[in-house]
Amino acid sequence: MIYFKKSWRIKALTAFSVLMCTSMLSIAQEDEFSLGTIRTVVIDAGHGGKDPGCHGNFAQEKHVCLDMALMLGDKIKNAYPDIKVVYTRDTDVFVELDERAKIANRNNADLFICIHANAASPSAYGTETYVLGLHRTEAQQRVAERENSIIHLEDDGGEKYKSFDMSPDAIIARQIQLSVFLDQSIMFASHLQSEFKKIGRHDRGVKQAGFLVLYKTTMPSVLIETGFLTNPKEEKFLSDSTTQLQMANSMFNAFQTYKNELEGVDSQTELEREEEVVNNKEIVVDEATSEDIVFRVQIETSEKAIRLTDPKFKGNTVFQYQQGGLYKYTVGYHVNDFDAANEHKQKMRNEGFEHAFVVGFLDGERIDLQKAINLAEK
């Protein structure tokens, strides 16, 4: 890959030029985009053909992604006959990364939805949605590198991508250039994560990374990692047609909310609006890696799900997880910092949560507290 090697004066001049060009580009984009009308959606099922993607014991990424992509497309077509739905592939064929972006650009898409499945340790689970940007953790970098690695299966062995400048400077410049679309991408990604959470999926957050398939698109674009095929439970979930439909429904609901926001249509009840405010507080770029310990303070346990805006939580931003058939509610987010979590526990007790206590999570899964403390100290 080619990286910028310029003096700070040249960089400053380049940044100024990008900003000047971007200001004119943004005006033109906003004139068109302010109409708030989605006319064309491109749905990209990851991998395909000779590129199976990641896999579990029996399921391949290329198949589960295509299944969910087709389900999502059908739901959009049925609900909105005037919206044109374009698939980068609707069968098991290989499509180059560059061509996927070109399909979206050629069709003047108003939204690009890229559907993938993830791979990591067998204990990793949950959904995460990416927008183009700089990775903040090694885990995020690994996801992008894995998805980008398929360029070596292309006819030219990835030669064409040598001209792609994916350095931090270039990605930042690209973000500035398409800033109006980046804001929309984050908004849609946030709705996706909120909807996944409603069906019980673990929310790993909205994240950023340098995905080649997102780099060349010129519209709001997201890449969804629907779950981990390397986790046996998630592999079963992502390969079953019933739960695939649940995921497609969640994507459609997020699309519908996003579309209504663009068009100024208020389709939410007051309760839904309250829930979304709380959920959006949780949608931040996750600074923890899969090896970090996250300490939180548990304040409530219930046999039934509790509304996150319930007055009993006293306005605190609450995170829900399930364990042993119970719904459990925590506050705070302390990476490798037990002392900070312990102080937070005392604060919550002072607020009236007399039985508050600290819990530890490794890669999204609760573990023994003493083990968590020992790992965090390392």
Q: How many helices (H) and strands (E) does the chain have?
A: 12, 11
Chain CA centroid to CA 21, Å: 29
Whether the Cβ atoms of residue 331 and residue 318 lie closer than 8 Å to each other? yes
The continuous run of DSSP H or E covering 297 comes out as: strand 293-302
Q: What pLDDT does residue 320 have?
A: 83
* Domains annotated on the chain, with CATH: 8-281 (3.40.630.40), 291-377 (3.30.70.1070)
Q: What pLDDT does residue 75 have?
A: 95
For residues 151 and 212, give the distance between their C-alpha atoms in angstroms, rounded to a whole number.
9
Confidence of residue 38 (pLDDT cuts 50, 70, 90): very high
- Which carries the bigger pLDDT value, residue 295 or residue 289? 295
Most confident of 65-79, 207-221, 272-286, 300-314: 65-79
In the block, tokens 């309760």 appear at: 271
The mean per-residue pLDDT over the stretch 327-352 comes to: 91
Closest CA to 126 of 237, 210, 213, 22: 237
Q: What is the pLDDT of residues 86-103, one digit of tens each?
A: 999 999 999 988 889 899
Residue 131, strand partner residues:
208
Q: How high does pLDDT run on average in the chain?
A: 78
- Which carries the bigger pLDDT value, residue 6 or residue 279? 279
**3 state SS of 96:** coil
Q: What pLDDT does residue 22 have?
A: 38
Closest CA to 140 of 87, 229, 231, 206: 206
Confidence of residue 279 (pLDDT cuts 50, 70, 90): very low
